[in-house]
Amino acid sequence: MSRLTEMEPETRVVVTQINGGADLTGHPTDRGLIQGSELDFHGAGAVHTHVGARCAKTIKSKRRLWEFHPPLICRILGLAFDEREEGKIFNKLGLEHNKRLSVASARHGTLVHACVEPNRVSRYLDKTLESMFEPYRRMVQGLGQEDISRLIEERGELKDVPLPALIWLAIRHQHQEIDRIEARVFSTIHVMEHRALRLYDDLSRMLPDGKPENAVGELKATLRLCEELQKRHQRSEQRREQLKAEMEAIKQDKSSLALALAEQRQLSGRLGNDLEKLGGESALAQIESLKEEIELLTGEIVTLNEELLKREQIHSVVNESNEGLAGSKASIEDKPLAIGRIEGEQDITQSPALNGKSVAFVGGLEGLLPHYRQTVEHLGGIFLAHSGKYAQGKQEIEKLVDKADVVFCPVDINSHHACRHCKRICKLTGKPCYFLRSASLSMFRRELIEFARGLN
């Protein structure tokens, strides 16, 4: 039985269906003649289907979907569209399928049967496949159709190009050996189908649920898990390297501490030997005795300083009295003011004023501290004092200098370290520092009045 199928104006195809030429799904059999040349696909086991030669004076460069060998149409559609996508095509085109078969098989067979001749279904699918596969053409740029068919056989290169795209690109355009290329592509795909079916059968029997389709999803999930594990492994390696570096630093610190401890032990041993040479426990008793003597001497020094202060006041009164007798009446009238200043009763309005400046006094005699304070306060300043004992802590000296506007340090009764530390802190903070040759009240008063005059 023969039927004439209309093609494009310049092309006609004659299809002769013999027993088995198409199955119940509408699939053409895997044997046939294309353009008058016989393609014997031995793996199909079907009866020959004869396709008459296309009578076209003008051969177009691009072949349409219905010009492909029907078994290749079947493979392209089956690989390009899954069951869900075929359902969308059916709904879009308003097609019906064979009710006697399963939905998936009937839909696929209907689409394949419709694509063997030009109609709205085949034209729609031809356009859809064109837009789907043409983006991959640049990936095979420079390769001929025979080279692409070889890639289908080897599949060692261009793994990013889907198999249906390679089939499409291999047979899409006209070629003088197109029959042989189609036969080569089909035979390769046919062998792949056998392998895939064997794998599918093995997976069906091996998997617990018996559904190989789920294996792909599980494999993808496993690959994602492997990537995540790889990232965690890399982070763990980085953390391990950090820990190694920290361990090395700890080892170095431990070595440094061990050396410092050894030095400390040696120093303790030398101090112990020196103590034994000095007499051991008896040396400590001698030190305590010396401390008591120092305290007694300090008390005597205070007493002597008070007497010295009184003598200085008397001496100053005498000198100023002599100057008053030799001067004018105005200078004689100023004499009570000079006496008042010496005795700590100076009128601030008649002398240079400190204007609330803070004056720090580091060191000096403890017995003269009230007189130091009285001198500063009579000039309108704020008095701050430190004993000058450096062992009490240099931070106290730093706090004192930080609060003060000017610092006075007597060098005769003071700690050498305290004087040097005051000089350094004043230099850093930009505050004036006066080093007095003695801790006497007259020396301090003279320098303080000089500083006050500089302010005014």
- What the block records as the tokens of 370 is 């009230």
Inter-CA distances, 371 with 343, 355, 364, 375, 378, Å = 10, 19, 11, 6, 10
> Would you state the pLDDT for residue 58?
36
Degrees to nearest 5, angle at CA 108 with 50 and 78: 85
Q: Which alpha helices (DSSP H) does 94-209 contain, by range? A: 103-114, 120-133, 145-154, 163-171, 178-206
> Would you state the pLDDT for residue 352?
75
> Would you state the pLDDT for residue 75?
92
pLDDT digits (tens, 9 = 90+) for 322-355: 555 555 444 434 433 333 344 444 444 456 788 8
Strands (E), 260-413: 358-362, 382-386, 406-410
> Would you state the pLDDT for residue 14?
28
Name the residue among 451, 449, 344, 341 with its Cα closest to residue 406: 451
Residues of the chain with pLDDT under 50: 1-60, 328-349
Under 8 Å CB-to-CB from 357, ≥6 apart: which residues?
381, 382, 405, 406, 455
> Would you state the pLDDT for residue 38?
34
Instruction: Give the span between the Cα atoms of 456 and 401, in whole angstroms.
Output: 22
Contact in structure between 385 and 360 (CB atoms under 8 Å): yes
Instruction: Give the span between the Cα atoms of 253 and 201, in whole angstroms.
Output: 66
> Would you state the pLDDT for residue 55?
34
**How many other β-carbons are positioned within 10 Å of the β-carbon of residue 363?**
22
- What the block records as the tokens of 125 is 């699918």
> Would you state the pLDDT for residue 4?
28
**How many other β-carbons are positioned within 10 Å of the β-carbon of residue 325?**
9
> Would you state the pLDDT for residue 99?
65
Inter-CA distances, 294 with 33, 291, 360, 389, 417, Å = 130, 5, 26, 15, 20
pLDDT digits (tens, 9 = 90+) for 130-164: 999 988 888 888 888 888 888 888 776 677 888 89
DSSP letter for 63, please. Answer: P
Q: Is the dihedral of CA 68, 69, 74, 75 positive or negative?
A: negative
